[in-house]
């Protein structure tokens, strides 16, 4: 069937971890490329933010992502659970796993990434905000569902 690029929006929250698990169990297949999209709303390193504000970071392969110094350089959370999950699924399904880091508004950056990376599908978690909270706070999930150029699967937190 050929290689597919499947994206998972990853903010290292419980809901994004659940989305990653769902993608691993239900969507990913041998030979796919799993692209984790991590959006930083406010970066600590202004130079990186300016340098990569439009294009995002270079693709960071799983082998590099396992390196503590690389995670620190990009301000990526040190999450053993996610790294273990990625390592296991990459071996089981013979996947390529990369992370792409963007800076800015998560709603816009996720949609831009879908197009730039030519993702065939995107999986993201939902925090499960109530209707009033979504109206007041806005919803990244609602925005992405309405604007992404590929199919989007939302995995609910509950």
* Angle, vertex CA 37, rays to CA 35 and CA 42, nearest 5: 160
Residue 136 has what pLDDT? 46
Span 22-51, average pLDDT = 81
Share of the chain above pLDDT 90, in %: 58
Residue 73 has what pLDDT? 87
Using the Cα atoms of residue 48, residue 49, residue 53 and residue 58 in order, give the sign of their dihedral. Answer: positive
Share of the chain above pLDDT 70, in %: 82
Name the β-bridge partners of 8.
Answer: 36, 123
pLDDT band, residue 91 (cuts 50/70/90): very high
Q: Of residues 140 and 29, which shows the higher confidence score?
A: 29
Q: Is residue 109 within 8 Å of 8, Cβ to Cβ?
A: no
Structure tokens at 11: 């903010």
- pTM metric for this prediction: 0.86
Using the Cα atoms of residue 9, residue 15, residue 17 and residue 23 in order, give the sign of their dihedral. Answer: negative
Residue 7 has what pLDDT? 97
pLDDT band, residue 137 (cuts 50/70/90): very low
Structure tokens at 155: 């995995």
* Angle, vertex CA 8, rays to CA 63 and CA 71, nearest 5: 35
Residue 43 has what pLDDT? 52
CATH code for the domain in which residue 105 is found: 3.40.50.620
Q: CA 75 to CA 71: how far, in whole Å? A: 6
Residue 139 has what pLDDT? 75
Q: Work out how many domains the chain is built from and give that number.
A: 1
Residue 141 has what pLDDT? 82
Q: CA 66 to CA 153: how far, in whole Å? A: 27
For the segment 38-76, what is each residue's pLDDT rounded down to a tens digit?
A: 988 765 555 555 666 667 888 999 999 999 999 998 889
Q: Determine the structural domain holding residue 114 and report its residue range.
A: 5-156
Structure tokens at 96: 């390529």
* Angle, vertex CA 140, rays to CA 5 and CA 105, nearest 5: 85
Q: Is residue 77 within 8 Å of 12, Cβ to Cβ?
A: yes
Structure tokens at 122: 């995107």
């Amino acid at each position: 069937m050929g290689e597919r690029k499947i994206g998972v929006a990853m903010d290292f929250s419980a809901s994004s971890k659940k989305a990653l698990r769902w993608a691993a169990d239900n969507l990913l297949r041998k030979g796919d490329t799993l692209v984790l999209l991590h959006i930083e709303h406010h970066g600590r390193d202004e130079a990186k933010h300016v340098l990569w504000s439009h294009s995002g970071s270079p693709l960071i392969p799983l082998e590099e992502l396992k390196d503590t110094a690389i995670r620190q350089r990009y301000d990526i959370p040190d999450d053993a659970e996610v790294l273990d999950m990625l390592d296991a699924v990459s071996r089981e399904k013979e996947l390529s796993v990369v992370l792409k880091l963007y800076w800015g508004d998560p709603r816009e950056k996720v949609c831009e990434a879908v197009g730039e990376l030519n993702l065939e599908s995107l999986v993201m978690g939902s925090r499960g905000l109530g209707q009033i909270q979504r109206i007041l706070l806005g919803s990244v999930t609602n925005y992405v569902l309405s604007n992404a150029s590929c199919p989007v699967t939302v995995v609910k937190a509950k």
